[in-house]
Amino acid sequence: MTDQEYKELLLELASRYRIIDELAFHYYKHSQRIEDLRRDVKKLSSICRRVRVIRNRVIREQVEIEDLYRVLRKEYKAPTNSILEALRELGILRALDETPEVLYGLRESVIPKEDLELLLWCSFHNSDENPKAGIGRLISAARGLARTSHKPSKILQEAASTIPKKLDDIKAEYKDAQPPKKRKILNGIGNILMGFATGGGNILLAGGTIAAPNPATGYLVIGSAAVAIGAVFKGLGDLRGE
């Protein structure tokens, strides 16, 4: 599929699922919801950056990791569930569930610049590595998901519940792990946080078109959501040690 064919697919889906119209109906009639979403994205992005800092000094992190567990236990569930509900409510998850070609054909050219900046801000690349290589891995993860029988909506539901339900298990596994394994666990948590933050961020980005609704801008929302789901899928794999 060429870049133009892929963009046309996203445009057709944005029009079919009325992404921008749904956003206007559900969110901009109730401005507090968009403010709540902005707060949730900021909160998850902040936690994500904290995870990355701990990962990069994993040998000396014991006090910081205990603080991270407290933050995750207190602040993870509400914003991830809020963003999951928004993606479902606006028809974005349905579009991705019913059209695996979006994930299979994902490419950087359809990811909005603002989302790329957020992904780079949160990304878990090595210090000597080009940060965009991390985005390439998220795109590969999204394509890998498309080759399975898993639905994107189910992946997000699993991720929203995994950390709250398994935090004690994650904590015990982390305590006894060697540094490479610790980094893998932190990568998993970070990628899940990054995916949800990006999923919420792309809704905020699309919100800028509400004053003059244009279905064409919805294609950016779908493309961005696809890479967000790739990040979450990769994070779950990291936590399973894959």
| Residue-wise pLDDT tens digits, 106-165 | 988 887 777 667 666 665 555 445 656 777 888 899 999 999 999 999 999 999 988 888
- Enclosing H/E stretch for 155: helix 152-175
Q: Are 192 and 232 in contact (CB under 8 A)?
A: yes
Q: Rounded to whole angstroms, how far apart are CA atoms 57 and 165?
A: 26
C-alpha angle 188-190-196 in degrees, rounded to nearest 5: 105
Spans of the chain, pLDDT less than 50: 127-128, 209-213
CA distance 121 to 137: 15
Q: What is the pLDDT of residue 209?
A: 46
pLDDT of residue 212: 44
Neighbours of 1 (CB within 10 A): 12
Question: Can you give the pLDDT at residue 179?
Answer: 81
pLDDT of residue 3: 86
Size (the chain), residues = 242
pLDDT for the residue 127: 47
Q: What confidence score (pLDDT) does residue 208 get?
A: 56
